Amino acid sequence: MKLLKYVLSVIIIVLVSCSKKDDNTNSPMVTETFYKGMDLSFQSELEDYNVPYKDANGNAVELLDFVKSKGTNLIRLKLWHTPQDGQNSLEDVKSYAQRIKTKEMNFLLDFHYSDFWADPGTQTPPAAWQNLEIEDLKAAIYNYTKNVVQQLKAQNTLPEIIQIGNETDSGFLWDYGKVWNEFNDNWVNYADLVTEAIRAVREVDTEGKVKIMLHHSSVENSIYFFNELQTYNLDFDIIGLSYYPQFQTKDLDVVASKLNTLATTFDKEILMVEVAYPFTLQWNDNLTNYIGSINQTIPEFAPTPQGQKAYLEWLINTIKNIPNNKGIGFCYWAPDWVAFNGNETTSTNGTSWENQCVFDFNLKALPILDAFNTN
């Protein structure tokens, strides 16, 4: 009889314990997603050419299915307001976003707030917004952002992450929101414009599913930028960073130190939203590449297929070791922007990026893709 009571007591304890675990949504067993992303914004253009991507054995693959099978779980798409060439329009983004969601992958939307490329040296407002008064521009950015997010929500492709501006080190929507050189005292206008964009997202995302990201182009120089924004208490969740060694420090200790300082100073998640590394210093078309010299690379990682893979493995480990679990992942920029339809002297479809892609000059998958399978 005593034995029966003991057994029943144990069963009750186990059942109660399991019930508590099921009810506790904050259980430490629940882990956040570590993003292993790719920016595939060029696909809306490249798919018109039927680029024959292949696996490592030379078998033809469908790009989105293939990169998902290799571990990619986040796709980033850039959005231009009214692009003259028709690429990266809202219709392009909506169409590809449906494919991303069909594959059960996460979606990152990159608002450039321009009709073309926006980066630290170029932040041209859309033609439709030029010559507006500042108050009218605030209304324009709010209405535009809200309309885009509403359309994405209506087709069930609400992004997991929305990026307010692209590499906005110097502000955006120049000169309204410029915070560089003679406009260094213009932070309040930049903050006001960002606030209107964020407000639009939050109003559409009533369930709080979307995380807001602000994006700086430099790991080593970003602390100043986010310090300046502290005063304005902007409602954002993620610090987005670019890291291209040809433009930034090649000292790996400096990179890790700056990331750690950002995490402990600002209490925001950190996403390395633009990264890339060469597998060769050669080229496969008639355009000059962004990296073509050994002096532009990191000494620890040779510009070879294995060196490219080792670079990404180091980066993943560095991100995962950011204090307080603030490192949430990376996004490889333009892994698909290959040269094709000709050789280095005859190609009419050139790219300045083919030696930093994840496919070689025969369009076969490189070893770096194995690094995406990390947990």
Q: Could you give the CA distance from residue 366 to residue 362 in angstroms, rounded to a whole number?
A: 10
Closest C-alpha among 329, 322, 350 to residue 338: 350
pLDDT at residue 7, rounded to an integer:
39
> Which is it for the CA torsion 308, 314, 317, 322, positive or negative?
negative
The tens digit of pLDDT for each residue in 62-77 reads 999 999 999 999 999 9
Q: Is the pLDDT of residue 347 over 70?
A: no
What are the domain boundaries of the chain? 33-277+301-336
Compute CA 161 distance to the chain's CA centroid, rounded to the nearest angstrom: 9
Query: Could you give the residue numbers annotated as active site?
Result: 167, 274
Rounded to whole angstroms, the Cα distance separating 316 from 36 reads 9
Superfamily of domain 33-277+301-336: Glycosidases (3.20.20.80)
Task: Give 69: exposed, middle or buried? Use CB within 10 Å, 0-12, 13-18, 19+.
Answer: middle
pLDDT per residue as tens digits for the range 15-36:
333 433 343 333 323 338 999 9
Mean of the per-residue pLDDT values of the chain: 91
**Alpha-carbon gap, residue 73 to 160, rounded angstroms:** 11
Q: 271: which DSSP letter? A: E
Q: Looking at residue 61, what is its pLDDT?
A: 98
* For the chain, the helix, strand and coil percentages under 3-state DSSP, each to the nearest 5: 40, 15, 45
Bin 50: left if φ > 0, else alpha if -120 < ψ < 50, else beta: left
